[in-house]
Structure formats: structure tokens, C-alpha cells
Amino acid sequence: MGINLLPVRYGHYEGHTDICFSDDGDKLLSCGADGEVRIWNGFDDDDPLQNCIGEFALCIKHKGEHIFVGTNTNLVQQLTYPNGDRNGILTRFTAHVNHMYISEAHNWIALASEDMTVKVMEISTKETKTFTINGPPLSVSLCKNLKNLAVSCGDGKLKIFNIEDQSLIKEISVVAKANSFENAKELCRIDFDQKYNKYFAYPDGNKISILNISDWNEAFTLSTDAIDSNYSLVCFSPCGNYVAASTLDGNIAVWLLRSQTIVGFEKQSDIAITSLAWNPKGNGELAFADAQGNVGMATNCTETGADEDDGDIPDEEGAIEEQNYESENIDFGDVQIEAEDDDEDNENAVSLEKLKKEIMGPLEPELEAIEAAASRSPSPRARSVTPEIPLQPAFMPSSTPEHLDPRYMCYNEVGIIRCYGCNLDDDDDGTRSIEVEFHDSQIHSSMMIRNYKGYTMGSISTAALAVANNTVIHVVPLGSSSEEWHLVLEDDEEIVCIAASHNLICLATANYFVHVSTIFGIQKAVISVPGPILTMSAIGMVLIIAYHSTSTRKGDQCVETMLVKFEGTTIENRDMKVALKPGSKLQWLGFTDVGTPAMMDSTGMVYLHPLQCNLWIPFCDTKKHHKSPSDGFFMTAIYESLGTIRGIRCKGSLYPGFTPRPTLTEIEFQPPFLEIGTGKSQYESSLFTMSTLQIEGMEKKYQEIALKSFALAMKNNLEKRAVEFMEMLGNPQLLNLAVKYASKFDKRRLVEKLMDVASKIDADADPPTFNGSSVSTPSTNVIKPNKKLLLESTSKILNKSKSQVSTPTQGTPSSSMINNTPSTSIISTPGNITLSDISILQDEPKNPFLKSLKKTQTSAFNPLSLTDKFAGIEKENDSVKSEKRKQPDSSPSEKNKEKQRKLDRFMFSKRN
């Protein structure tokens, strides 16, 4: 028999990795150097649940409804199981936690920190006993009856303490010395026997030493000739009959205790194993992790039936067998339960089957077959109950969670509100403070406020600063800081979120009420929201509120929004349903700089709600700008006028840190069109963004990108697409430029189709605009199409375009000149379409609606006719034909005569 080693899989970044099983053995939990906690639904899970809690995590354990993780922030983070959400802090140290140990027999946890302290804590009551050692602890373990504590230290000692009086029982020099956990070559992971509380195991070079707990003498050692390297980890099985150990070069070995024989060994790789964990189910599975961040599984680590008690503890086994024997011979008094077969021999028993056979006779063969099949059918299985998914709790936009310390209470386009000491006790209110910093010092100078009332919510605008706790809101008007005011809620109300704008101060309560006041404290209105309030934001006199309309449905949060306008003493409302991705949550809610409602979900998708569209439209996916899947984007503001989103890119986290100071970055709008990598999709995405949003100075860019899209379709011989595109835009000025561009390339059929489109547009009294307000072209630049004038100008372009296409000139401009104004392209031109192709359309700057001083003779024929053989040939003017160069009056010199002869030869050849 041998161990079956499954192929390892990627779990975390390279570095120390820890792994453990859940209490029921159904899930794997791991953490690593990337700071992520991953919950695997079995070893074959390809999409584990993950949550980033810091820069790195060294240890992880599970107990009941909590997951405990030691992070780089010198604390033990509590997460919920199985969702993995943050659920507070268990305890703090002055250095990071190296290792932790939890026994199944009790509710105590042992924590070893790099600050050379070990804490033994009761999880529910947080009763703590602290042990001080002389070196960085590498490993820690607790016995079953909570009498002894074992610690392996970097000073080279293995120490065993009595927990009750904290006295040192035994000290063994067996650990390799190390000045820190990161520099330790051997982890020296130790373990107590949690089944029988009889043995203690620790690695000792190339063997495993087993001590007897009763007298702390060595009972026996475990080793094998096949492995000569030093062991680093040791772990007892849940049944207490097996011991697993791993070496520094990737070997894994398992021994049977009662016979002290090796069950099997296997070499994973040359990489050191950093963690071992037995499956609590007792199915012989052994999970491990290595220093490269890989997660592996070894199966068949125990013999069949060996997990059962087979004589190691005869007293317990005899008691169990006696108990089972007594349960089989229970005296029920006068009531005796007999077997079903006795009914056949009992004359007084009434059998329904007998009556059927006597009256109805034997069944037919077909019915007998059906009845036999029905008797063999399995019993129906119980329906699985769908787990209830909680509603998303209320939050403040652009703020970090309350359990972080220090944290951002608000980070928007106006300023930053920082909170320090928010998690301290009420006795330490002197160290709690709030710092307010403004991006523009002309609005207000920075402020520092003592947070003696424990404010946890904050909002800032150009007119006021508002902070609040659960019962009180405090407002500081920036125009007159001496007129501060506050409101105190009644006992049955609780503040869940607040919002401040240039004109309003709003607070939402747990009773689904929203109270609205002015900047200087006049209570303006109170409204009721039809559901639990999630978050809200304000701009000017407008307030947007997000709330839960119903309970969760198949993992989706059912969220709706209300857009409320407080104009004077009147109130106007508009309901807007929220479109979130499946399984996502609302992460940010607010307005753009021009007042358009906007939001971002937990998947990083940014949505805008243009009021003329009355729809939530996705405009940017921030996940596509991340370098790692664990990165996040912390939204601060959206500038619709510039077409950008401003925020902070967080590496390996969802929230920014304090030191170093985070750097703001901008991401351009890019709707998630299909095949966005192609030039065609980029043009279409830019046109959609410009025609939907209110972006400043986009008229010229809009025309440029529209002509590029038309040129791309035309050069790909997609004339119907080109005509459809211009018909969709419906802009006369763009249509005139498109006709000239098509004439330049001698696309006569395309020009005729564009003429038909121009006739349709000319027939309409009011030509359509791109959108309601943002993409309209000024009326002074609009040129209504005139079919006659277009035909006259086209005849002049045909011959000119032929010469320019065949022999390109040296002075071709490199940038497009639309409306005689140079503009740079925001999207690179694909293929062979250059900006010089578009700039040639400006060679005829004449306005056809202006009267010229000299009337020119118009052609009497159609240059685009398909029946005239002289179509497209420009007639020579008689005045030009008879024009000759005037000779000088004085007698020319020899040089002038030679020039005159060359000129005469050139004119003669041209006329011929």
C-alpha cells in the first residue's frame, strides 16, 4: 500500500502558504503571500471563494462560524464561514502572527506572534493568558485537556508550559536557531494527540520523536531509511492512530502508531512543505501546501478500517461495545415489538394483503411486474434547502469599512475625511480624532476635530462638513464655521448613512426615513423610503437613494433607487430600477460633475443614468485595468465633462492604505462593446459615448470619428453599411463631407445613394440631432444639403482627386482639418485610412449659400451620369484656351528668349 499523491495546483503567490480543513471536512481554507484567503469547495474546485485581507497572511484556522487569519497588520482577522466576509478582529499584537492552533476538544486558541509573545485565548469570552519567550515563535500547540502549551522558538528551544500557573515543564534543544520567522529554515511544527491525550510529537532531525505526556519521557521514535533529510512538520490524524510528517525537500511520510511502521511515503517535489492538515472526516486525505504557493492533496494515507478504534484504548472500546449491546436489548415493558413475519402465523392479526388475495384473487402478471418495480424504487430524497443570502448592509460611498483603523470616512472630489482610533474603547476617546483635508485650499483650510462622540460616518461638500454616529449628526458650514449645529435622533431611530451637497444635508434612519435639512440647519422635509436604505448621495438640490426593494433572489441583490429633487418647498420624485450584474453588490453611488446619476457594482462595472435615456448604461469596466485579479479600484469621482473616472488603484485589496499616500488615477470611458480591440468597435464605442453623455468640446472629435467610421466602411467596399451609418447619424454637415470623400475615391454609386439620403433629410423641416442636449451642432455650422450644388462641386473634385490619388503631394497635412481647425484623433486610425484622406475635403471652403461676386457658368450636363460618355470630363474654358502670356515691351535677353521658347513648347503640347 502507498500514498496516492494528486497533482498540485496553483493557490497563492510564491511564499509561505498555510492550509486547513473546515470542521466538517467539506471545504479547504488557504492563505498565502498575496494576502488572499481562499475557500475551496473541495480540492477540485476551479473557482474558490476569495477575499483579500492584506499584503500577506501567514496562518489560517477554522472554528464553528468563524475563520481566523493572521495578517500583516499585526492582528488576527475574523471572517464569517462559509462566505468569508470580514467580521471583526479577535486580538492584536505588536508584530505579525506566525502560527495559530485550535483544538476540536475546546474553544481555546493559541496564537504565536513575532513580538515573542504567545496568547492562549478563549474565543467567545476573549479570556487571555500571555506567555513571553526569548525568541520568535515558530509553532504552537495545545493539548486536549487544556493543561499544557508547547512552543518551538527561534532561540533553538522547544518549551512546554503549564497553562494554569504558566510554569515551564520541559525544555528541549531541538530547533534550528533563527532570528525571525521569515529566515527560519525549519518551522518545527509540533502537535499533541487530540484523540487519546497520550502522546506529543515533534521533529528531531531525520526522525520524529514521540513523548509520553504523563512523564514527558520519550516513548519511541519514527523514521525510515528511505528519507535522510530533516523533518520540519508533524501532525496527528483525527483518529489518533497515524502521524504524518514532511521534510524540507518535499517528502511526505505517514506512520501507524501502534506498530510504529511506515504506511507510505511520497516525494512531492524539491520544494519545502509549509503546512499539513488531515481531513476531519477520517477518510485518509492529507492536504498540504508548499513554499511556491501550491496546494496539494494526498489520498489513501490510512489503512482500510484502521481509523476505527481497534484496541489502542481497550477501556473506551469495551465501554462502547457494552453500550451498543445494552441498546439492542432494551426492555419496553408490556409493549413488545415483533417482526412483520409473525403476522402470517398469528390468527388474530388482520392483514390487508390477505384480504386482497382472498377477495380479488392473484394479481395479473403485468400488475405484479409494476408492483415489484415500485417496491424496488428508491425512496424520494429530501429537497435541498436554499441557503438564505443576507441583504447587503448600509454603507457610505467612497469610504472604507468601519473595522479598519485608521480609515477613510469620505474621499471625494472635494476633499478627504480621515478617522483615527475609531476602534478604541470609550475610555481612550482622547486619542480618537478626525482630520479633514480639502483638495482646493481656497474652499477651506484643513481641519482637525476631536472625535469624542465616536463619529463613524462623514460627508463633505463645497459648502458643509457633516459627521455622524448612530444617534447624532454634526454639521459645520464652511462659509461660517461659527454656526455649527447638530441634530439628535429619538431613541427608536438610528442613523445608517448621511449625505451632504452644496445645498442639502440628508440623513437616513433604520426606520426607512430620510430627513432633509439646509446647510444652516433648517429642516426642509422628511420622506419615507419603501425598503431598507442601502446608501445615498446628493448634489445641489437633488438626492439619490438606493434601497432594497425585496429580499435577495437567487443570490442577486434587488436594489432600486429614488431620484428626489427639493426645489424650494416642492418635492419631485423619479423611480429608477438598478441593473447589477448577477451575484454582485452595490459598491458606489453618486453623481457625475454635470449631475448624471452614476454607480459601480462589486465587479468593477461603472453605470451612468442619462436622464434623457432613463436607462442605466454600462460605460466602463474597471477590472480590465487591473494588473492582478486581486486588485481593486476605489472610486472617488466621475468627470462626465472630461469622459474619465477618477479613483485609486488598490494592489491586492479593495481599499487604499494610508502610507504611502495613495495616488489618484483616471480611466477613460469605454462601453463594453463586442470586439473592442478592433478599430471599428472603438469608433462605435466612442460615438456612442459622445452622443449619450455631456462631454465638453466633443463636436469636432465627433465629426472626425464619424468620418473615420464612414471611410473604414467605404474602403472595405461595404457601401450599404456606409450609407446606413450616415443615415443613422442624420447630420447634414457630416453628409456633405461624406459625399466629398466618396467623390474623391470615385465612388459614384455611393454618391448617388448619399444624395438620396440628403434628399430625405432636406425634406424634413427639422433635421434630427444626435441627442437631446450634448451632441447638437451649432446652427451656424449646419449646411443644408442642396443636390444641385453638390453635383456642381463633385465635378470639380473628380479630376482633382484622380491626380491626388495617383501622385500624392509632398505637403499633405498629417492631422485632420475639420471646420478649418486642427484636431488630434482620440483613437488610432486603422488600416490604410490616413488623416490626409479626410483633410482633402477642406479644399473647397466655399459656402454654397453665399452669393459670389462673379457668377460662374454651371455645367449643362451631369458629371455623375451613368449614360453620358463624357461624364466626369471637365470642359476647358474659352477664355483659358485663348489666353497667352504677354511679351515684355523691351527687347528680351537671350535668357528670356530661351524661357519663352520652352513656354511655347509646353503650351503647344498641352493644346494638342
pLDDT digits (tens, 9 = 90+) for 587-636: 999 999 999 999 999 989 999 998 888 889 999 999 888 888 778 899 99
**Three-class SS of residue 244?**
strand
Q: Which runs of E-coded beta strand occur in 32-156?
A: 36-40, 49-52, 57-63, 66-71, 75-80, 86-92, 97-102, 108-113, 117-122, 128-132, 137-142, 148-153
The backbone region for 305, taken as left when phi is positive above 0, alpha when psi lies in -120 to 50, beta otherwise, is: left
How far apart are alpha carbons 264 and 75 in whole angstroms?
39
State the average pLDDT over residues 156-175. 91
Q: What is the pLDDT of residue 904?
A: 67
Higher pLDDT, 214 or 768: 214
pLDDT digits (tens, 9 = 90+) for 248-293: 888 999 999 988 999 888 887 888 899 999 999 988 899 999 999 9
Q: What is the pLDDT of residue 352?
A: 60
Sign of CA dihedral 256, 257, 262, 266: positive
Residue 119 has pLDDT above 90, yes or no: yes
Q: What is the pLDDT of residue 703?
A: 80
Residue 800 has pLDDT above 80, yes or no: no
684 with 717: CB under 8 angstroms? no
Give Dmax over CA atoms of the chain in angstroms: 157
Best CA proximity match to 295, nearest among 6, 59, 18, 8? 8
Q: Can you read off the three cell numbers belonging to residue 733? A: 454637415
Residue with cell 455650422: 781
CA angle in degrees (0–180, nearest 5) for 384-386-390: 160
Q: What is the dihedral of CA 40, 41, 42, 46, to 10 degrees?
A: -70
Q: Can you read off the three cell numbers belonging to residue 448? A: 482637525
Residue 883 has pLDDT above 60, yes or no: no
Q: At 80, is the pLDDT very low, low, confident or very high (cuts 50, 70, 90)?
A: very high
How far, in whole angstroms, is CA 900 from its chain's centroid? 80
260-266 own/partner pairs: CB under 8 Å, 24+ apart: 260/220, 260/222, 262/222, 262/224, 263/1, 263/3, 263/301, 263/302, 263/303, 264/1, 264/2, 264/3, 264/300, 264/301, 265/3, 265/224, 265/226, 265/227, 266/2, 266/3, 266/5, 266/298
DSSP string of 765-828, one letter each residue: SSPPPSSSSSSPPPGGG-----HHHHHHHHHHHHHHHHHHHHS--TT--SSEEETTEEE--SSP
Mapping DSSP onto H, E and C, the string for 522-554 reads CEEEEEECCCCEEEEEEECCEEEEEEECCCCEC
Q: At 533, is the pLDDT very low, low, confident or very high (cuts 50, 70, 90)?
A: very high
Q: At 779, is the pLDDT very low, low, confident or very high (cuts 50, 70, 90)?
A: very low
Q: What is the pLDDT of residue 657?
A: 86
**Contacts for 666 with CB less than 8 Å, ≥ 6 apart:** 639, 644, 645, 646
How far apart are alpha carbons 235 and 243 in whole angstroms?
6
How far apart are alpha carbons 836 and 711 in whole angstroms?
12
Residue 861 has pLDDT above 90, yes or no: no
146 with 106: CB under 8 angstroms? yes
How far apart are alpha carbons 657 and 438 in whole angstroms?
18
State the average pLDDT over residues 306-326. 42
Distances (CA, A) of 572 to 499, 540, 595, 599: 18, 14, 16, 21
Scored b (16 or more CB within 10 A) or e, 703-722 reads bbbbbbbbbbbbbeeebebb
Please provide residue 627's backbone torsions phi and psi, each rounded to the nearest 5 degrees. Answer: -85, -25
Lowest mean pLDDT across 105-114, 383-392, 424-433, 873-882: 873-882
Averaged pLDDT score across all residues of the chain: 78
Q: What is the pLDDT of residue 785?
A: 44
**Three-class SS of residue 281?**
coil
Higher pLDDT, 760 or 207: 207
- Which residues on adjacent β-strands are paired with residue 62? 67
Residue 812 has pLDDT above 80, yes or no: no
Distances (CA, A) of 432 to 396, 438, 452, 468, 781: 20, 20, 7, 14, 61
Best CA proximity match to 246, nearest among 232, 256, 235, 236? 232
Best CA proximity match to 136, nearest among 123, 125, 148, 152? 152
Tell me, what amino acid is at 426?
D
pLDDT digits (tens, 9 = 90+) for 762-776: 776 454 444 433 333
Residue 829 has pLDDT above 60, yes or no: no
